[in-house]
Structures are given as structure tokens and as C-alpha cells.
Amino acid sequence: MTTRVNEAGDVSRPSLKASSPRYGEKLIKAFLFVCAGLSVLVTTAIVISLLVPTVDFFTEVSITEFLFGTEWRPGRGTQTSYGVLPIVVGTLNITLIALVVAIPVGLLSAFYLSEYANPRLRKIVKPVLEVLAGIPTVAIGLFALYFLKPFFADLLPWVDLDGLFSQGVAGIAVGLMIVPLVASVAEDAMRAVPPGLREGAYALGATKLRVSLKVVFPAAISGIVAACVLAASRAIGETMVVLIAAGASPKLIGPWEFGESVLTMTAYIGRTATGDIATGTITYKTIFAVGALLFVMTLIMNLISIRLVRRFREVYE
Amino acid sequence: MRPQQVTMERKDAEREAVFELRNVSVFYGSQKAVNDVSMDIYRNTITALIGPSGCGKSTLLRSLNRMNDLIPDARVEGEVLYQGADMYSPRVNPVQVRKKIGMVFQRPNPFPKSIYDNVAFGPRTLGMTGDMDEIVERALRGAALWDDVKDRLKDNAYGMSGGQQQRLCIARAIATEPEVILMDEPCSALDPVSTGRIEDLMLELKERFTIVVVTHNMQQAARVSDMTAFLMVQMGADEHSRWGELVEYDETNRIFTNPADERTDNYVSGRIG
């Protein structure tokens, strides 16, 4: 491309110039660029669409009241209050309970599949896990309400599970839902650890447990943390299960209060954003403010995890 | 096609056998990889296993510390006696075997940890008592690596050159004070200078350890080993069955200058393989 072919050059020499201008290739390149650009554009558009009503919301409600208020009574009526803390706490409680279930179970399954299971068994179980990860969340919500709740009411008779809804049951349901995700992503990370590292450790007389914990686990840590972060993001953003099984009462309570019902940020948005909501009203703006906060929370979590991974990663090759 | 055993028996009286292989065959599933190998491996010698690709020399090596156990469907028939005891007896734990018999692999495979932690991994696994710093230093000195790395023990092992990484793997193997070190083509990923250093190191190490080395490099076998076993691929009746067999096992000198079997002669002189 840097030198030009002499126009008056020797005709008999073979030309290196393309026989056609190759428009097709340029067209494909342009098309692919538009596709890539579109996804960036859409993401930006989502952020802006969240941002505009949110900024509008804060002209009516102060940021301090929103972030640090402890009463969540949005909408019409005389005693409105926009303290978002109770529903943030509800979200965090559900997420915490879900992760307490999903991370140990998921990681141990991943260890089993990657290090202990017979290859034939793994070939069957891995696709099954991936199918399980695709169960509609509505079905998980119903499972929580009609199976898990009575089950835990019988299992833990000392816990007050009289109400229909419980943050504990909803959290555990979300946790069970994301177990396959954690297991699958973590297993991929463990399988990616070069077999030579395992052999080196076995040759030193290490047991399977030691190889798993001291060699495979640290070498796969970045993928394992990614699995956990993905799980947390799923749990924070989960809407349907909590809408069905967690209830609708914004409360400032700890995650250990198993039988209490809570309202999460997503469930608030889900139950408020119905057809009869008028655009431009304060309620309308509220759901966007809550959505924006949810977005910021997920973003912060992802940033923290990226730093964690950089710090603990064991780089091989 | 029996392997040559005449000369072996002559040596038995003089040297102490660490391994005694009696009609050892190794299978992967129904596929036979190594057929009917009988040989003794002697203390404080370097024994080289040579032969063309696919002749089962690595498989045979890995049956000496039960590394084949890690491969599902792998199975060893016959007897492998280690210091007189059957290594494949159901009462023997392969983990215990590997504590006594170290291994160095074809590609350097240090753990993605610090140099120090790499060497300390084995001793920690065994729960060795004593000053860990001292154990690490002794192992690194033993692998002729101490002067190169003493100022950067906390650095990641992957910052080292390939030759240094391989010597680190040797240090890691000798840190647990094994009796035998198995080496599976330890220089195949290294340049000639690093290879020379590893070979010098092997000659030093044989004072303390028994070494069995698989190599595709005949000159290397000739340079470092005391005993050489030549294995060859045998084709079965149908096209898919092929396995390795021991053709000849003798002093390295004899294998390279005056082998008893014509096939050995053809191989070491470069006419085949």
C-alpha cells in the first residue's frame, strides 16, 4: 500500500494489483463494524435512559434522603418517603443468602467434576448443568413458593414461617438457581489449568485433595472469582423469584431473619412498572432511580472483583 | 524375540537392583502399550530408555512411580518390585510410592508460585520437619540453581528461562530427598547450553540418587547413562495393534559400540528410527 505501481511500467510483468476492487470485502467489514458499534451504542443508550429520569427524580427528592433514608413509602399519599435503604438491604440479604448456598455448592461440584469425576460421567453431567442454568426463573419462583417454603417450614419448626413469603426461602431458591452457573464457569476455569501442573504435584506425592486445593485452585482463581462475581450479579439482578417468593414489605432487617418477607430493588421495579403507570409522575421516576442505583452497585462490585483477581492471580505460561 | 538377558545376569551379582521388572506389560484400555519387559535398574546409576516414538519408553517410565494410575483405564500387568517389594500390591498407596520416587517432566512444569514455594511444595506435602529455608537452599544448591536465584526466591517461577525452570523442577524433585528420580525427556524443550547443564547435573546427582531417564536423543544417552535399554515398536497382526518391546538392555558402552541385537545396531548407528 505504500508504493504505487508505475502506471507506465512494464506490461509484460505480472501485476500484483487485485483483479477486482473487492467491494464485497469492504461491505462485510463495514457491516461488522456497524454490528459492533450497535452493541456499544445500545449499552450507552440504556445508561442514558436510566440517567435522564433519575436526574429528574433528584430534583424532587434529595440524594441524602434517597440514599440514607430508612423509610421506603414511595408514590402517592400524604406520608411518602424515599429512603432506599430498606430495599437495598432486602436485595443484599437475598444476594448474601443466595451466595452462601451457591458458592460452596457450586465450587465443590466444580472440584468434583474437574478433579474427581470419571470423564464419562463428566461428559453427561456438564451438559445437564448447562441446561439447568436455563430453567425459566418463574418456574424457580413457583418451586420456592410451593415446594421449598413448606419444606423449610417442616425442616425448621422453630423458625417462624407462617407468612407466605420469606427472604430465606427466596434467597435459597436464587442460590439453587445459580449453582449450575457457578459450577459450570468454575469448572471451565479448573479444566483450563494445564495438566502438567497436576502431574508435577502428583509426582511429589501430593494427594488429590492437596492437588485440588494447592495447585488447581490457586491457578484457576481468576476464573473462580469470575464465577462468584457472575453469581452475585445474577443474584442482585434476579427479579422473578423474589417477586414471587420474597414478599413486598420493605424492612431493615438482617439476613439471618429467615422467615421475614422483604422487598428487593428488582421486585419493587417489577411490581411498580406495570401498564397503568403514567410517565413523568414521581413513581415513574422512582423506578428509574432505583434501577440506576442497582446499575451502580453491580458496577462497583465488578470493579472490586477485577482488582481482587489481579491481586491473587497465579499466571502460568 | 526375547530380550537379551544373558549379560544382565552377569551384572546382578555386582550391583544392587532398585527396581526389578518382571514381565511388565502396560495397557491403556484394551490397547497394549508395552509388552513383557523384564529388566533390573541399579542403584546410583543412570539408566537411559531409548527408542523411536511410540515405543512405550515414557509409558514404561511412568509405570515406575505409578503415574499411569492417573490415567483412567491404564493397567499394569506383571511385577514391578521396588527394593524387593511389589509396587502394585493392592496394599500399596500410589501416593506413598511417589514420595519415594520423584519425577521430572518433558516440559518444565513449575507451579505458578514463587521459586521458594515451588521447592517447598514437596517438603510441605510430606510434612517434613526442619528449617524450610535450609531445605529449599539445599535443594536449589543440589540443582545448581542457588547462585542464580538466591536473590529472587520470592519471584514467580515463570520469570525464569526454560533451562532454569527445568532445574527448578529438579530442585523441587530432590527437595523431598527421594531415592529415585525419573526423568521423561527432560531436555527436549531446552536449548543445547541448558541441556549441557542438565546433563552435568544428572552426573552429579547420580552420586545421591538413582536416575532413570527417557530420551529420544541417543547422544545424550551415550553421554550420561551407565545402562541403556533399547525399546522398539512391534506391530501386531492387525494394523491398529502396536506396542513397545524391550529389545536389548546392557551397559551403555556396549549398546553403542557392540550391541548384541542387529536392530539395536541399526538404531544407534542411525540406519533406522
**According to the model, what pLDDT value does residue A275 have?**
77
DSSP state of A11: T
Q: Does the CB of B85 have a partner CB in chain A at under 8 Å?
A: no
- Spatial CA neighbour of A97 closest among A45, A144, A55: A144
Considering only alpha carbons, which residue of chain A is nearest residue B161? A317
Closest in B103, B112, B156 to A203, CB measured: B103
Q: Is residue A68 part of a domain?
A: no
pTM flag (> 0.90): no
Name B242's bridge partners: B235
Mean pLDDT for A59-87 is: 85
Q: Is residue A38 part of a domain?
A: no
Amino acid at B133: D
Residue-wise pLDDT for B77-88, tens only, equals 999 999 989 999
- Spatial CA neighbour of A84 closest among A62, A106, A103: A62
Residue-wise pLDDT for A130-142, tens only, equals 888 888 999 999 9
| 3-class secondary structure, B47 | strand
Give the count of alpha carbons within 13 A of A59, CB side only: 9
| 3-class secondary structure, A25 | helix
**According to the model, what pLDDT value does residue A10 have?**
53
| 3-class secondary structure, A133 | coil
**According to the model, what pLDDT value does residue A11 have?**
55
**According to the model, what pLDDT value does residue A315 have?**
67
Residue range(s) defining the domain that contains residue A198: 81-312
Domain count, chain A: 1
Least confident residue range of A7-16, A58-67, A176-185, A229-238: A7-16
CATH at A145: 1.10.3720.10
Cα–Cα dist B242/B26, whole Å: 12
| Model confidence band, residue A1 (pLDDT cutoffs 50, 70, 90) | very low
Please answer yes or no on whether A203 and B158 come within 8 Å at the CB atom: no
Mean pLDDT for A218-226 is: 89
Q: Is residue A63 part of a domain?
A: no
**According to the model, what pLDDT value does residue A60 have?**
87
Counting every residue written for chain B, the total comes to 273
List CB contacts (< 8 A) between B176 and chain A. 204-205
Give the mean pLDDT of chain B.
Answer: 89
For residues B143 and B201, the answer to whether their CB atoms sit within 8 Å is: yes
Complex prediction ipTM? 0.87
Residue-wise pLDDT for A248-271, tens only, equals 888 888 888 888 889 999 999 998
Please answer yes or no on whether A205 and B96 come within 8 Å at the CB atom: yes
Give the count of alpha carbons within 13 A of A65, CB side only: 14
Q: Is residue A62 part of a domain?
A: no
Query: Quick one: three-class SS letters along chain A?
Result: CCCCCCCCCCCCCCCCCCCCCCHHHHHHHHHHHHHHHHHHHHHHHHHHHHHHHHHHHHHHCCHHHHHHCCCEECCCCCCCEECCHHHHHHHHHHHHHHHHHHHHHHHHHHHHHHHHCCHHHHHHHHHHHHHHCCCCHHHHHHHHHHHHHHHHHHHCCCCCCCCCCCHHHHHHHHHHHHHHHHHHHHHHHHHCCCHHHHHHHHHCCCCHHHHHHHHHHHHCHHHHHHHHHHHHHHHHHCCHHHHHHCCCCCCCCCCCCCCCCCCCHHHHHHHHCCCCCCCCCHHHHHHHHHHHHHHHHHHHHHHHHHHHHHHHCCCCC
Closest in A196, A205, A219 to B105, CB measured: A196
Q: Which residue in this structure is represented by grid cell 501416593?
A: B95
Q: Is residue A69 part of a domain?
A: no
Please answer yes or no on whether A199 and B113 come within 8 Å at the CB atom: no
- Checking if the pLDDT of B213 tops 90, the result is yes
Cα–Cα dist B273/B269, whole Å: 10
Q: Does the CB of A194 have a partner CB in chain B at under 8 Å?
A: yes
- Distances from the Cα of B235 to the Cα of B54, B55, B74, B244, B249, angstroms: 11, 11, 20, 9, 21
Residues 41-80 of B with CB under 8 A from A: 65, 67, 70, 72
Cα–Cα dist A82/B195, whole Å: 73
**According to the model, what pLDDT value does residue A249 have?**
86
Q: Is residue A162 part of a domain?
A: yes
Amino acid at B181: I
Cα–Cα dist A235/A91, whole Å: 8
Q: Is residue A59 part of a domain?
A: no
Q: Is residue A96 part of a domain?
A: yes
List CB contacts (< 8 A) between A219 and chain B. 111-112
Residues 112-141 of A with CB under 8 A from B: 118-119
- Spatial CA neighbour of A167 closest among A288, A234, A229, A86: A86
